Amino acid sequence: MRVPLSWLREYVDVDLSPEALADRLTLLGMEVRGIERIGADWSRVVVGELLTVDRHPNSARLSLTTVRVGDGEPTLSIVCGATNIAPGQRIPVALPGSVLPGDRRIEIAKLAGVESQGMLCSGDELGLSSDADGILILPADTPIGLPMEDLVGDVVLDVDVKPNRGDALSILGLAREVSAATGAPVRWPGIVVTESGDATADHVRVDVLDTERCPRFVARYLDGVSVGPSPFAVQQRLTAAGMRPISNIVDASNYVMLELGKPIHTFDADGVPNGHIIVRGAEPGERLTTLDHVERVLDPEVLLIAGDDGPLGLAGVMGGLDSEVSDTTSRVIVESALFDPVSIRRTAFRFALRSEASLRFEKGQEHRLARIGADRAAQLILAWGGGRAATEVVDTDPVELPRARVAFRPARVARLLGVDLPSTEQAALLARVEVTTEPADPTDLVPIAAAGPTGAAQQVPAAEGALVAVIPGHRRDLVIEADIAEEVARVRGYETLPGTLPTSAMPAIRPDPRRLVDHLRGWLSGQGLLEVVTHGLIGPEDHARLGLAADDPATIRALNPVTADHSELRRSLLPGLLTVLADAERQRRPDVAVFEVGPIHARVDGQPTETPMVGVLLAGSARPATWAATPRAWDLADGKGLVEALVARIADASVDWRATTPHAGVEHPGRTAEGVVTLPDGRAVVLGRVTEVHPALLAAMDIRAPHVISVGLEIGAIAAIEPGRVQAGRVDGPPPVERDLAVVVDATRGAGDVAAIIRDAAGPSLVGLGLFDRYQGAQLGADQVSLAWRLRLDPDPSAPETATDDLMDHIATVLSERIGARRRA
């Protein structure tokens, strides 16, 4: 909310600098986001009078003027391009040497061959209005020579009014806050309507058919009104507050809205047949063309202001075109009504018509403002547009509401705030925001929680020492005891609450769910990998590249995505990681070793499910190229080695790699493996996959790297292999014996199969198995491969010396029997 200080000062004295005032309001919860100084960025702009306006000798588009800027000042000759000027007008003149907004300097200059001794200014050039076409015409009685900043200069505070404080969406409401901060009293404007002639009821009849959605409707009637511009000062004031001046009638309603927070609507009475106003829900299919020239199709959800012949306006949101106040209007009906906030909010959202008015209705309105607003609007229309106001008002609910009463326990307020605060002091603080207090009656109930859609009200009987806060009508936000506590703290100043460290009982020790993940992150980064965090929302194209159909039921899609590129929750970390690679390549950084830890999303059995994953992407060189190392590209074995080392770091376990069905177009058909860990109890845990990314997918993402390795592991699977309890290994016996075993097998036989057979045949004495050589070539048949294994065996000390040799022979025999492996010397 933009608050011109000149306007604010009408209702409360302010003896503070704008900065100090902004500070006080901010500390009171009315955060001032900015301070704007109108006139601060100009200098040497004064009021002048046009003496002559003639055609420019060399240009049809320019005029040559002479301007008087004060007694004793020389008459200036100024070239001007605007067409709205005439002799006798008072206008802002930028003198030679002046500065305008944007650090624009005005000097004597030749325009189309004629010297111009300054410039006549538009409202836009001074930052006063958006009107850039014409020169700003000032009132005829403006003193000539007056510096313009003295005429229209102002300071405007931009106040962030929170949604619960609709009452402060007004200059008067903020004056009340200033009063709470400084103690200066609030001055209400004198609201008096000079009435004459017939009664309003003779011209206006109001039937509210839906009192739920329209609890009060106050109407006034004026005739003989002349529509025209508002007084200059009013226009300036509205402009400074961020509202465009339209006409005296419309400006009057906007003025009341900004001043009191009460939205007002004005009708041209000629557009209201028989002066009959009906407030009702729309009929299905009913139509209304609103002020913005858009025809709206309505239904009963929409509350209407209607006439005998059909809709006149969307209640509280926007008026209809047919009853709009125009230049020719002379009879005006003023509507000052209360509407159900939810209904207004829904209608405004539905038609994308959220306005200053609907914003205020949404937050709820003080009951008495309906009458006050109608009177104030009528008063201003009379003052600015003349005419007569009919006597009295039409009012559908003239009985004002009693003040709300909220019982509270000062001791509980003190407990919540953590400060010892006697009830007398609490009462005094509340008095500064017009909340009076009185002792509670034992029958009073203290509201702990209000009733709402999620539960019933919770109340407790007022205890000894309880008070009742009597709430002024505009503070609809003060409902429960905690609200009173906030008000006490707010007025006293949050800064006065002393900070203390907790002394209450600690919760029991709980496991840290991030322990394993942080361990993995630290370990992976220690292996030289860089952690990335990519988008959770990716595009349909990303999923399509993974082979997931556009309508795949497991994909969770945003119904209202910000952009199509980020409209689906990722089913895989791979697209994000590949995007990092593609971006890095564009930055000429082809060596990419990155990882990400985070959830992937899918619908499982219809339910949204998150699966924490760790993803690794390796592209480019496995080590930095230096004088001391020949660069080598990452390959599948690097990915597997990383997983093996990770597993060994976490559990006393090894990884078996097995072939798995590659995802077509995503994973290399011949380079995709699934890693499995077999736990001591025999359970096999699938950790995830190591794969080379399919070249077609790389091409689709414009990635140049020929070979890219991807690892995807489930965090849950890694957690599953963590041992519950670790027992120290045995180090007192003899060291393990190492034996080598080279076997020739069919080249299509997986090394994993051979390893499994060796493990199976060796039994528990095998404590380590590594493949140290793999040979294919001239010494063997074309379809054969030699695999050389190194076995670490923990021999039984009591067994005979030949036992190890016997075991090796046994293993070789089993290999031969099962897969025809030939032992190599």
Partner 1 sequence: MDIGSFQGRLEALRVGAISDIGAAADLDALADVETRILGRKGELKSVMGGIGALPAEDRPKVGALANPVREAIESAIETRREVLGTAALEMRLLAEREDVTLPGRSLWRGGLHPIRETEREIARIFGQFGFVVVESPEVETDALNFEALNIPADHPARDLWDTIYVQPPTGTPEAPPDEEPRWLLRTHTSPGQIRAMRATEPPIRILTPGRCYRYEAVDASHGFEFFQVEGLMVDEDTSMGTLRGLLDAFAHAMFGAGRPTRFRPGYYPFTEPSVAFDIQCVVCDGSGCPACGRSGWMTILGAGMVHPVVLRNGGIDPERYQGFAFGMGTDRITMLRYAIRDIRAFLANDLRFLEGFPA
In the region spanning residues 540 to 559, those forming contacts with partner 1, defined by CB under 8 A, are 553, 556-559
Q: Which of 500, 661, 727, 802 binds partner 1 (CB under 8 A)?
A: 500
Indicate the DSSP class of residue 269.
Answer: G
> What's the min distance (Å) between Cβ of 687 and partner 1?
21
Confirm or reject binding of residue 448 to partner 1 (CB under 8 A): yes
Q: Which of 486, 644, 667, 714 binds partner 1 (CB under 8 A)?
A: 486
d(CA 173, CA 77): 48
Cβ–Cβ < 8 Å for 309, 275: no
Choose the stretch contacting partner 1; rule: CB under 8 A; options: 243-251, 269-277, 323-331, 497-505: 497-505
* Helix (H/G/I), strand (E/B), else coil: 370: helix
Choose the stretch contacting partner 1; rule: CB under 8 A; options: 370-378, 502-510, 779-787, 793-801: 502-510
> What's the min distance (Å) between Cβ of 696 and partner 1?
24
Confirm or reject binding of residue 454 to partner 1 (CB under 8 A): yes
Identify the CA nearest to 31 among candidates 71, 62, 3: 3
Confirm or reject binding of residue 342 to partner 1 (CB under 8 A): yes
> What's the min distance (Å) between Cβ of 20 and partner 1?
12
Q: Whose Cβ is closer to partner 1: residue 371's or residue 601's?
A: 601
125 φ, ψ to 5°? -65, -25
Choose the stretch contacting partner 1; rule: CB under 8 A; options: 121-129, 242-250, 490-498, 727-735: 490-498
> What's the min distance (Å) between Cβ of 414 and partner 1?
9
Q: Which of 528, 669, 706, 768 binds partner 1 (CB under 8 A)?
A: 528
d(CA 605, CA 44): 74
d(CA 673, CA 657): 6
d(CA 570, CA 601): 6
- Element spanning 693, H or E: strand 684-693
Confirm or reject binding of residue 40 to partner 1 (CB under 8 A): no
Confirm or reject binding of residue 588 to partner 1 (CB under 8 A): no
Token output for 591: 């060596």
Q: Whose Cβ is closer to partner 1: residue 504's or residue 802's?
A: 504
Confirm or reject binding of residue 310 to partner 1 (CB under 8 A): no
CA dihedral 31, 32, 33, 38 (to 10 degrees): 160
d(CA 147, CA 43): 8
Strand partners for 786: 744, 775
> What's the min distance (Å) between Cβ of 208 and partner 1?
21
- Element spanning 350, H or E: helix 341-350
> What's the min distance (Å) between Cβ of 2 and partner 1?
16
Identify the CA nearest to 108 among candidates 74, 146, 142: 74
Report the amino acid identity of residue 213. Answer: R
Work out the number of other CB atoms within 10 angstroms of the CB of residue 368. 15
Confirm or reject binding of residue 569 to partner 1 (CB under 8 A): yes
Residues 144-163 that bind partner 1 (CB under 8 A): 162-163
Confirm or reject binding of residue 210 to partner 1 (CB under 8 A): no
Confirm or reject binding of residue 704 to partner 1 (CB under 8 A): no
d(CA 126, CA 93): 11
d(CA 500, CA 489): 16
Q: Which of 183, 453, 734, 735 binds partner 1 (CB under 8 A)?
A: 453
Choose the stretch contacting partner 1; rule: CB under 8 A; options: 4-12, 119-127, 467-475, 483-491: 483-491
Confirm or reject binding of residue 702 to partner 1 (CB under 8 A): no
Q: Which of 292, 309, 438, 518 binds partner 1 (CB under 8 A)?
A: 518
Indicate the DSSP class of residue 224.
Answer: S
Confirm or reject binding of residue 463 to partner 1 (CB under 8 A): no
> What's the min distance (Å) between Cβ of 76 and partner 1?
37
Choose the stretch contacting partner 1; rule: CB under 8 A; options: 65-73, 258-266, 374-382, 590-598: 590-598
Confirm or reject binding of residue 626 to partner 1 (CB under 8 A): yes
> What's the min distance (Å) between Cβ of 433 and partner 1?
12
Long-range contacts for 719-728 (Cβ within 8 Å, ≥24 apart)?
719/516, 720/679, 720/685, 721/647, 721/650, 721/651, 721/653, 721/677, 721/679, 721/685, 721/687, 722/516, 722/650, 722/651, 723/651, 723/652, 726/652
Confirm or reject binding of residue 289 to partner 1 (CB under 8 A): no
Confirm or reject binding of residue 165 to partner 1 (CB under 8 A): yes
| Parallel, antiparallel or unpaired: strands 276-281 and 205-208 | parallel
Our CA angle for 700, 703, 708, nearest 5°, is 105
Q: Whose Cβ is closer to partner 1: residue 535's or residue 823's?
A: 535
Choose the stretch contacting partner 1; rule: CB under 8 A; options: 122-130, 357-365, 649-657, 761-769: 357-365
Confirm or reject binding of residue 482 to partner 1 (CB under 8 A): yes
Our CA angle for 397, 400, 402, nearest 5°, is 135
Confirm or reject binding of residue 561 to partner 1 (CB under 8 A): yes
d(CA 568, CA 541): 10
Confirm or reject binding of residue 619 to partner 1 (CB under 8 A): no
Q: Which of 137, 282, 580, 812 binds partner 1 (CB under 8 A)?
A: 580
Choose the stretch contacting partner 1; rule: CB under 8 A; options: 269-277, 434-442, 589-597, 808-816: 589-597
> What's the min distance (Å) between Cβ of 509 and partner 1?
8
Confirm or reject binding of residue 212 to partner 1 (CB under 8 A): no
Choose the stretch contacting partner 1; rule: CB under 8 A; options: 164-172, 187-195, 780-788, 814-822: 164-172
Q: Please state at what angle helix 171-182 crosses helix 18-27, rounded to 10 degrees.
A: 90
For residue 496, count CB atoms less than 10 angstroms from its CB and return exposed for 0-12, middle for 13-18, buried for 19 or more. Answer: exposed
> What's the min distance (Å) between Cβ of 503 and partner 1?
7
d(CA 619, CA 328): 75
Sheet-wide strand order for 303-307: 205-208, 276-281, 303-307, 310-314, 318-319
* Helix (H/G/I), strand (E/B), else coil: 89: coil
d(CA 384, CA 311): 29
Confirm or reject binding of residue 597 to partner 1 (CB under 8 A): yes
Residues 712-731 that bind partner 1 (CB under 8 A): none
Confirm or reject binding of residue 497 to partner 1 (CB under 8 A): yes
> What's the min distance (Å) between Cβ of 1 and partner 1?
14
Q: Whose Cβ is closer to partner 1: residue 29's or residue 539's?
A: 29
Confirm or reject binding of residue 33 to partner 1 (CB under 8 A): yes
Confirm or reject binding of residue 742 to partner 1 (CB under 8 A): no
Confirm or reject binding of residue 362 to partner 1 (CB under 8 A): yes
- State the binding string over 412-431 for partner 1 (x if CB under 8 A, else -): ---xxxxx------------
Q: Whose Cβ is closer to partner 1: residue 33's or residue 704's?
A: 33
Choose the stretch contacting partner 1; rule: CB under 8 A; options: 88-96, 584-592, 636-644, 650-658: 584-592
Q: Which of 490, 707, 823, 824 binds partner 1 (CB under 8 A)?
A: 490
Cβ–Cβ < 8 Å for 239, 124: no
Size of the chain in residues: 825
Q: Which of 525, 776, 779, 813 binds partner 1 (CB under 8 A)?
A: 525
Q: Which of 328, 503, 798, 802 binds partner 1 (CB under 8 A)?
A: 503
Q: Please state at what angle helix 410-417 crosses helix 423-431, rounded to 10 degrees.
A: 90
Cβ–Cβ < 8 Å for 305, 329: no
Work out the number of other CB atoms within 10 angstroms of the CB of residue 10. 14
Choose the stretch contacting partner 1; rule: CB under 8 A; options: 59-67, 532-540, 673-681, 809-817: 532-540
Number of residues lying near partner 1 (CB under 8 A): 111
